[in-house]
Amino acid sequence: MESEENPTNEKQNSEQNISVENSSTLGNPPKMPEENQTESQSVVIPKNDQKITTEQTQSIINIALKDLHLSREKLEIELKELSKKKVQIETELKSSFSGQSDAIARKVKGFQEYLTGALQDLAQSAEQLELVVPPVIVKPSPLDENKKIEPAKEQEVIPAVSDNFKPDESLIRRCFGQFVEQPDFYAEPWKLRRSLENNDIEMLEDWFFSMGGRGAQPSRGSRSKNALVAAGVIAILGELYGEQFQTLVLASQPERLGEWRRCLQDALGLNREDFGPNSGIVLFERSDSLIERADRLEERGELPLIIIDAAEINVEIPILQFPIWLAFAGSPNEIYEENELT
């Protein structure tokens, strides 16, 4: 079997070879030698390589330029951000204490350098100056000169306080004489309708002529008797000044002021209308109000007569500046009784 198959295979191979040869001889031209083929290929290959390399380099350059542009844009953005941060930091430094202190320190340092340089220049210029000693001139002492005897100036004679009522002494003493006589219950208002004792007259003489109408007198033992003496003072000042004065009574409690009003109303023949801010007698519980009223009277050219109750232990100093005031000094027993009643 194998021998039969081999001859058939050989025949087939031979037939194929014959067909291939015929086709090559008929359809294909004669082949050139291998040397010529290699030469032609060596000439064409370099042109294709050049085209490929230029395209590649151009694409690489474009990519590189694109990367450079992107990096440049990124750098510009970073620079803008950094400049903004720089401005922000500078503003924070200026507004903060450390930044201000740093700026002050720089200015102080600069001024210090300028000052040291100026002092050095001043020292150098002072060294170059020629100092001249001025001549000493001895002048005679004013103690050695003959003193001129100046004429003695005439001293102004200031009248004493006790002389305030000296010009009106005759009128005042005539009133004293009327006070010790029988009381005149029908006398005109602001005239004394009661009589005084000799002790009361002595006290009034001391107050008018020794004290000049300014000072304290011992209490007569009760508020009614003190009000009677004060009524005599009001009657005399009414003869001297007319309606140009006003009586101001100081007592720190309403009950005491009420007693003063009743006693003065009875002794001088007054009405309720005579007691008030625009009348002849004004009653006060506080010193500051009395002082303010007295200042206003003096501004208007009127005279305030200040009467202080015996129960007032303390007297404000501004009251003592007014020209006419009478304070009754109560005894310890009298003050004690007043405190017990209150």
Give residue-wise pLDDT tens across range 298-327.
999 999 999 999 988 888 899 989 999 999
> Does a structural domain hold residue 334?
yes
Q: Is residue 228 within 8 Å of residue 263, measured between CB atoms?
A: yes
| Residues 98 and 234 both lie in one domain | no
3-state secondary structure of 168: coil
| Residues 252 and 188 both lie in one domain | yes
Give residue-wise pLDDT tens across range 4-23.
444 444 444 444 444 434 44
> Does a structural domain hold residue 38?
no
| Residues 233 and 297 both lie in one domain | yes
| Residues 226 and 319 both lie in one domain | yes
3-state secondary structure of 249: strand
- The pTM for the full model equals 0.53
End-to-end CA gap in the chain: 171
Residue 234 belongs to domain spanning? 163-341
Q: Is residue 200 within 8 Å of residue 229, measured between CB atoms?
A: yes
| Residues 92 and 186 both lie in one domain | no
Strands 281-284 and 245-250: parallel
Q: Which of 84, 99, 114 is the last residue of a domain?
A: 114
Q: For residue 90, is pLDDT > 80?
A: yes
Q: How many CB atoms lie within 10 A of CB 200?
A: 20
| Residues near 200 by beta carbon (within 8 Å), at least 6 away in sequence | 179, 220, 225, 228, 229, 232
| Whole-number Å distance between alpha carbons of 147 and 144 | 9
| Residues 336 and 203 both lie in one domain | yes
| Residues 285 and 169 both lie in one domain | yes
Q: Is residue 270 within 8 Å of residue 264, measured between CB atoms?
A: yes
pLDDT for the residue 142: 61
Report the number of distinct structural domains present in the chain. Answer: 2
**Pick the residue with more confidence: 216 or 163?**
216
| Residues 176 and 306 both lie in one domain | yes
Which CATH number belongs to the domain containing residue 189 in this structure? 3.40.50.300
Cα Rg of the chain (Å, integer): 67
